[in-house]
Structure 1
Amino acid sequence: MALADTLQASWYGTRGAPIWTFPLAWLYGVLTALRRALYRIGWLRSRRLAVPVVVVGNLTAGGTGKTPLTLALVEALAARGWRPGVVSRGYGGIQREPALLGDDPDPAQFGDEPCLIRAGGVPVAVGRDRPAAAALLLQAGCNVVIADDGLQHYALARDVEICVIDGERRFGNGRLLPAGPLREPLSRLRRVDFRVCNGAAGEGEHAMRLVGDLAVSLVDGATRPLTGFTGAPVHAVAAIGHPDRFFDSLRAHGLEVRGHRFADHHAFAPEDLAFAGDAPLLMTDKDAIKCRRFARPGWWRVPVRAVLDPAFIDALCARLDAASR
C-alpha cells in the first residue's frame, strides 16, 4: 500500500496512525500555532484591501467542495449586483509572480482550479503573494474578492471566513497532519463566520448539495444524461482530493464504474488515459480543464453545481454590505 493510501486509511478508517506521524504532528502543531501568534501580535502583518474579502477554505487536507462553492458564491454575488473576483495560490501551476488570467489560461502555468474558475467568466488572479495578486482584481473592476483555499493564508486580511466541511468524512480522526487530516485544530472552527457542509449539515452548519446529472463531450460540447451510460462499463478518472465522491456519484446514476485514481492536481498526459477498450471515459471538470487540448471522442466531463441555502447567501451579503461601509 502506498504511503498516501496508508495515511488516508488511518485518517478516515479504523487503522491507527503510524507511530512516526505523532512527533511530526506535534511539531506541525507548534509551528502553525507560532505562525498564528506572530500574525496576532503583529510581527507578521496582514494586508487589507479597499474592498471586502471572503475567504473560502477548509480544515482538512483533500477535497471538500471548495471550488464548486466558490463558483456558486461568484454567481450568487453577481446576481445581487456585486462584481466578484477570485484570488488563488495556483496550486499545480508554475506561476509565482502575481498575474491576472486571460481568456484561455494554461493549467500547467496557473493551476487547474484557477483555470476552471476562470472558465466561468469571472476575473481570476494567482500568485504566491496573494495580497498583490488580489490587488490586480481591484484594477480589473472587482468590488469583492473571494480567496479560494485561503483559510490558512493570513497574509491577506479577510472580512468573512467560510469553512467547507466534508459531510461524509467530516474531520476524520481529529488529529493534525500527518497523523490526521487537519491543517489546524478543530478549535479553529469557533473563529470562522460560516460553516458550509457538503452533505448532511450538522448544528450551526449551512447545507450545500452538489448536483450534476449530465456529461459534456470534451470534443464537441455535446451533452448526454448520465443515465445514458448505463448498460456497459465506463472508465472514470479523478485527480481530486476525494476521488471516491466522484465515482460514487456516477454509481448513484446506475453506471458501472471502473475508477482510476490520480494524485490531486495531477498533470495529465495522453498516455495516462490510454485505457484498454473503447468504453467511454468520464472525468471531473477540474480534470477536464487539463485534458481538453488532447481530448479524443468518447471523453466526457461531468460538471457539478453547488446548491446553497438562500439564508446563507442572505447572511453573507449582509456581512459584505456592512464591511463595504
Structure 2
Amino acid sequence: MFSQAPAFWSKPDWRVAALSPVALVYGAVARRRLVTAARRQVELPVLCVGNFTVGGSGKTPVVIALALEAGRMGLKPGILSRGHGGRARKPLLVEPERDGAELVGDEPLLLARHAPVAVTPDRTAGARLLEEQGCDFVIMDDGFQSAHIHMDFALLVVDAAHGVGNGRVLPAGPLRAQIVDQLRYADAVLRLGDGHAADEVVRAASRAGRPVYDAALAPRTPDRFAGKRVLAFAGIGHPEKFFVTLRGIGADIVEARSFPDHHAFKEEEIRDLLTTARDQGLALVTTSKDAVRLGEGPASVEIRQVLEVVEVEVDFASSETPRRIISQTLEAWRRRKSSL
C-alpha cells in the first residue's frame, strides 16, 4: 500500500481523521480475518515471526537468530517467506547463487545464507517444499495476519524507537489490525532496540498475559567504520535507523540518502552514488538488504567492488530467549499432533 511510511502515521494530521472511516472498515475486516481464518494444519512445527504494523521492524535478523538457535538445538530449520518485492508465484526454493532479488525478494536472499528458504504466497505448499528438503522445523517470516497456515507459536516484533506510530489501523496509521485483536492470537512480543515508543504495546501485552522479551540489533564489525567519512544509503522501512546505527559506531556520515522500502536500484542511481562518493572521497556504505538489490548492470558490478555493508545481528537481553521460544513452539506442536 505504501512504499514509505507517510509522515501523518507518526504525528497529528488532518488526514488521520479523514481516513478514520476507511480505517474502521479495514480494522473490522482484519479482525474478522484473524477470527475466522481457516488455518491449514501442516506436518511440521511452525514458528511465526510477524509484526503489528506494515514496514520494517527488524524481523529478518530475528528470523536468522532463531534459525541459528534451532540448528544448535539439533533441528533442521527451514524458512517460509512470501518473497515481498519478488515476482515468483509458484513455490520456489531459493538459491542465492542463481536467484536475484527481482525474482524472490531481498529478504529471502539474506535468509537463505542461514537455512533453506521456500518462497511462495501459498504457505502450505511452501511448508511441504521445506519438508521435502528434510527440514523438521518451519520459521515463517511474516504472515501472522493473513497466512492460511496453523501457527504453533506467534512472536510479534515491535521496534522500541518507532512503536506502532499513531496507533491507528491502515490507512489512517500503520497497524495491520487493532493491537488488542492481534495480541489475542499472539504468544509473545519481542521489543527490539531502545526507546519508549513501544510502551503502549508492552502494557497491552502484559494485560493480555503475553510475555515480552527484549533484544537489540548490534553491528558485527563496528570498529572498521569508526572515523570513516561515508556516503550512506538505505532503502528499508526506516532508513534513519541505519544512519543512527552508523553514527553510533563512529562513522562520519557526510551524505545520507534514503530510498523507498525494497527499492530496486536503477543503473543511473547507482552511477550517481559512485560519482558522488568518488568526487567527495567518501566510502559507500549500505545495509545487507540493499546490497542484494543492486542488480547486475555495469554500475552494479562496479559498486560491489567498493561497497561496504553493515551486517547486524540480534543481541537478546537474555541468551535463553531464543531457546525458550523454540522449545515452546515444539511443545505446542506436540500437543497439536496428539490431539489429531
TM-score by length of 1: 0.87
Q: Is the 8 A contact 2:48 2:142 kept in 1?
A: yes
Query: Which of 31, 34, 39 is the matching residue for 1:33?
Result: 31
Q: Which residue of 1 aligns with 2:215?
A: 208
Amino acid at match of 2:306: G
Q: Cα deviations across residues 280-307 of structure 1 (Å, max 9, x unaligned)?
A: 1111001111227424233111110111
- Aligned 1:116-265 pairs, distance under 5 A: 116-120=110-114, 122-187=115-180, 188-200=182-194, 202=202, 204-214=211-221, 225-229=224-228, 232=229, 234-257=230-253, 258-265=255-262
Residue 156 of structure 1 and its aligned partner are, at CA, apart by 1.0
Query: Which of 73, 77, 80 is the matching residue for 1:87?
Result: 80
Q: Which residue of 2 aligns with 1:51?
A: 44
Q: Following the alignment from structure 2 to structure 1, what is the Cα–Cα distance between the partners of residues 56 and 327?
A: 28
Range 67-76 or range 269-278, more displaced: 269-278
Unaligned runs of 5+ in 2: 335-340
Q: Following the alignment from structure 1 to structure 2, what is the Cα–Cα distance between the partners of residues 21 and 211?
A: 37
Q: Cα deviations across residues 165-207 of structure 1 (Å, max 9, x unaligned)?
A: 1101111211101111100111022431111111248564211
Q: Is the 8 A contact 1:68 1:304 kept in 2?
A: yes
Q: Is the 8 A contact 2:284 2:306 kept in 1?
A: yes
Query: Which of 309, 312, 325 is the matching residue for 2:321?
Result: 312
Q: Following the alignment from structure 1 to structure 2, what is the Cα–Cα distance between the partners of residues 242 and 186?
A: 21
Q: Following the alignment from structure 2 to structure 1, what is the Cα–Cα distance between the partners of residues 308 and 323?
A: 35
Residue 321 of structure 1 and its aligned partner are, at CA, apart by 3.2
- Structure 1 residues 209 and 100 mapped into 2: Cα distance closer, same or farther (>3 Å)? same
Q: Cα deviations across residues 8-63 of structure 1 (Å, max 9, x unaligned)?
A: 32222344544432122112112212323432xxxxx2111111000000011111
Q: Is the 8 A contact 2:117 2:130 kept in 1?
A: yes
Give the total of aligned pairs.
305
Q: Which residue of 2 aligns with 1:282?
A: 285
Q: Which residue of 2 aligns with 1:24?
A: 22
Q: Following the alignment from structure 1 to structure 2, what is the Cα–Cα distance between the partners of residues 253 and 167?
A: 19
Q: Following the alignment from structure 2 to structure 1, what is the Cα–Cα distance between the partners of residues 22 and 61?
A: 32
Amino acid at match of 1:316: I
Q: Is the 8 A contact 2:189 2:213 kept in 1?
A: yes
Q: Is the 8 A contact 1:199 1:208 kept in 2?
A: yes
What is the aligned-residue RMSD (CA, Å)? 2.1
Larger relative helix fraction: 2
| Percentage of matched positions with identical amino acids | 34
Q: Following the alignment from structure 1 to structure 2, what is the Cα–Cα distance between the partners of residues 179 and 11?
A: 7
Q: Following the alignment from structure 2 to structure 1, what is the Cα–Cα distance between the partners of residues 122 and 160?
A: 32
Q: Which residue of 1 aligns with 2:308?
A: 300
Q: Is the 8 A contact 1:213 1:225 kept in 2?
A: no
Q: Following the alignment from structure 2 to structure 1, what is the Cα–Cα distance between the partners of residues 62 and 176?
A: 20
Q: Following the alignment from structure 2 to structure 1, what is the Cα–Cα distance between the partners of residues 3 and 73?
A: 42
Q: Is the 8 A contact 1:55 1:161 kept in 2?
A: yes
- Structure 1 residues 99 and 242 mapped into 2: Cα distance closer, same or farther (>3 Å)? same
Q: Is the 8 A contact 1:127 1:133 kept in 2?
A: yes
Q: Is the 8 A contact 2:22 2:171 kept in 1?
A: yes
Q: Following the alignment from structure 1 to structure 2, what is the Cα–Cα distance between the partners of residues 103 and 253?
A: 30
- Structure 1 residues 144 and 256 mapped into 2: Cα distance closer, same or farther (>3 Å)? same
Amino acid at match of 1:318: S
